[in-house]
Amino acid sequence: MAYIINTAEDRSAMLEAIAVDAIDDLFQMVPPQLRLQKPLDIPPAMGEMELTAHMEELARRNTSPHEAISFLGGGSYDHFIPALVDFVASRSEFYTAYTPYQAEASQGTLQAMFEYQTLVTQLTGLDVSNASLYDGGSAVAEAVVMAMESVRRSKRVVTAASVHPEYRRNLQTYLANLDTELVTVGTPDSHLSPEALERAVDDQTACVVVQHPNFFGCLEEVEALAEIAHRRGALFIVSVDPISLGLLKRPGQYGADIAVAEGQGLGCPMAFGGPYLGILACRDQFVRRLPGRLVGQTTDRRGRRCWVLTLQTREQHIRREKATSNICTNQGLLALRASTYLAAMGPSGMRDVAQLCLQKAHYAIDQLTRGAALERRFDRPFFKEFVVRVRDGQVESLLEAARAAGFFAGVPLKNWYPELSDCVLVAVTEKRTKAQIDRLAAAVA
């Protein structure tokens, strides 16, 4: 944004235009005792040159994946972003658009949303997608509310302990005032066993929530879990890593009723935590419970193809008592980035990226556990993330040594799982090289 200041002449001209003598006259309706009678205790204003230098100095206090090599995961990943994604998303027609409502939405914006929905259904193997949600956590919560509305016999929800802990906290917040029984199954183990789910699910369960690959990077036995849920009449909700679908079965192929995901890895930067992209797709029979926006394709009065917002389930569009969600918008610009990424990569490109993540992650765990400092924590198939245990328990010391060598080595698990206080979650994307992995292994050996 351009640096713009108001000169004394500018202020005088504006006051004259509204027929006011002084700025203080604009606040006459505020009682004097409620007005600040002294200057704010803040530094004096800066000129453009000084302010630019100050902001650059503040920015240098951060360390980003551009300065340190990132093996961080847990929902935010350092994936490669093709230049095409930035080029398309930075076009002013998209970049300057605010939340598009019906009357304001251009055909170009609606078409971009429609194509995003189409790509998501192809990626997940499900029938319909909305135009995106806020992030992976809100997508899980919205999917559960959607499932309870669809089943309409119970408010009992079963979720695996291997689902992202922040997603489960989001879900607790959403359900806090809905008179819901939320059951977490299993201990912080590598996966949810079908036997444990069998014991937890009953005929009053509305839905089962699992993550595949799960928070620890391990693969769940999703086909068996889906069969157990359906046998009890519950819906099966799965949270996926979109990149993993280049290799793994699509949710629609193993019985998922609703699939959700964090879409950050699809052409969106890590951005110090956001904004991110929530993905939600479902089977056709649940479309009228789908939260957020849904763009449909139709023809205009001249017979030309066009697009329109349709099947709105939120309270801004329909009577409040009929609404199934009050989520008010979607991440249009991030969804556009995901669409551009998926279209540019295509099925073969997605398969190549997933294959690189898989191979490099397995090479990394072999190298990291070759020395005496680390050992593998879970003996399960995994995709691009894995958990290692620090043998001497000094997790912070190990991570600090890695930072000194120029690496973000991983995410400590103690704040989420006290039982894993001596463990670190490591993520390896297609961007990591053999040389980088070897250097990290040497730094923590």
pLDDT of 428 higher than 50: yes
CA distance 291 to 184: 24
Q: What is the mean pLDDT of residues 226-239?
A: 97
Average pLDDT over residues 118-147: 96
Answer whether 265's CB lies under 8 Å from 243's CB: yes
Say if residue 182's pLDDT is above 90: yes
Q: Give, for 206, the enclosing helix (H) or strand (E).
A: strand 205-212
Residues with Cβ < 8 Å from 294, sequence gap 6 or more?
A: 117, 128, 130, 131, 287, 309, 310, 311, 312
pLDDT of residue 189: 80
**Residue 270, token pair as written in the block:** 């890590």
The whole-angstrom separation of Cα 3 and Cα 173 is 40
Residue 406 makes CB contacts below 8 A (sequence gap 6+) with 67, 68, 69
Domains delineated in the chain: 69-81+346-444 (3.90.1150.10), 83-341 (3.40.640.10)
Q: What is the pLDDT of residue 104?
A: 61
Q: Is the pLDDT of residue 415 over 70?
A: yes
Note the pLDDT of residue 74: 96
| pLDDT > 60? residue 421 | yes
Instruction: Give residue 337's pLDDT band: very low, low, confident or very high (50, 70, 90).
Output: very high
pLDDT in tens, 49-70: 999 999 999 999 988 888 899 9
What are the Cα distances from residue 124, in Å, to 24, 68, 117, 355? 59, 33, 11, 18
- Determine the average pLDDT of the residues in 138-155: 90
Distance CA 78, CA 427 (A): 9
CA dihedral 159, 161, 166, 167 (to 10 degrees): -20
**Tens digit of pLDDT for each residue in 288-334?**
889 888 899 999 999 999 998 887 756 556 666 777 777 777 888 99
In this predicted structure, which of 3-7, 22-26, 250-254, 416-420 has the lowest mean pLDDT? Answer: 3-7
pLDDT bracket for residue 209 (50, 70, 90): very high
Range in 41-55, 270-284, 359-373 the model is least confident about: 41-55
pLDDT, residue 2, reads: 59
Q: Render pLDDT for 64-99 as a digit per residue (tens, 0 to 9).
A: 888 899 999 999 999 999 999 999 999 988 877 655
> Cα(399)–Cα(409) distance, rounded to whole angstroms?
6
| pLDDT at residue number 1 | 45
Tokens representing residue 60 in the block? 């240098």
Mean residue pLDDT across the chain? 92
Residue 103 has pLDDT above 60, yes or no: no
Other Cβ atoms within 10 Å of 328 Cβ, number = 13
